[in-house]
Amino acid sequence: MHLVRDVLDKQLVDKARVRVGRVDGIVLRLDEFGRPKVDAVELGTSTVARRLLIGVGLRTLARERGGGYRLVWSHVADVGVDITVDVERSELPLERWQQWLRRHVLRWIPGGLS
């Protein structure tokens, strides 16, 4: 498996094949022998923003760490065309944000909750 090619920026889906975001970042950790291990995948616009700042040469403005939601690698069930994760959708940031939208925005729009 090639982390950047096969994991980074890939579509995340839950067990029901609902799209739950993308792999916005990958968190590596050094083990006791100094070898890098994949710790988690990171989700969230702050991670995307950090990559963008580094990409355009403004590393000084970028935060030390991504600040996004970290999904521990052990929850990654399958790396295929999409990446399947075995967590409840409601725990992930995208669905939480959508839940907020339902409660605070959609309820004011006719037909929003029907």
Partner 1 sequence: MKKLLEISLGIVTSVGGFLETGSIATSAQAGAAYGFALIWAVVLGTGCLIVLVEMSGRFAIASHYTIADGIRDRFGSNLFILIFVVISIVNLMVLAAEIGGVALGLQFLTGWSFQWWALPVAFAAWLLLWRGTFGTIEKGVSALGLISLSFVVAMCVMGPPWREVARGALPSLPDKDGSHYAFIAVSILGATISNYLFFFYSSGAIEEKWDKSYFGINRITATLGMAFGGALSVAIIVLAAMVYPPRGIEDIESYEQIAMILTPALGTWGIYIFSLSLLITCFGAALELSLAQAYITAQGFGWNWSEDAKPKTDPAFSLVYTVAIVIAVIPIAAGLDPLRVTIFSMAVTAISLPLGVIPFLFLMNDRAFVGDHTNGWIGNAVVLFIIGLTFVLAIVTVPLQVWGG
74 binds partner 1 (CB under 8 A): no
| Part of the chain binding partner 1 (CB under 8 A), chosen from 21-29, 30-38, 60-68, 72-80 | 21-29
- In this structure, what are the phi and psi dihedrals at residue 25, rounded to the nearest 5 degrees? -155, 165
Cα(20)–Cα(69) distance, integer angstroms: 12
Stretch that binds partner 1, among 14-22, 30-38, 65-73 (CB under 8 A): 14-22
Contact 92, 20 (CB under 8 A): yes
Which of 40, 69, 66, 38 minimizes the C-alpha distance to 52?
66
Q: How many residues bind partner 1 (CB under 8 A)?
A: 30
Token pair for residue 32? 């006791």
User: Applying CB under 8 A, which residues contact partner 1?
Assistant: 8-12, 18-22, 24, 45, 48, 51-52, 55-56, 81, 94, 97-98, 101-102, 105-106, 109, 111-114
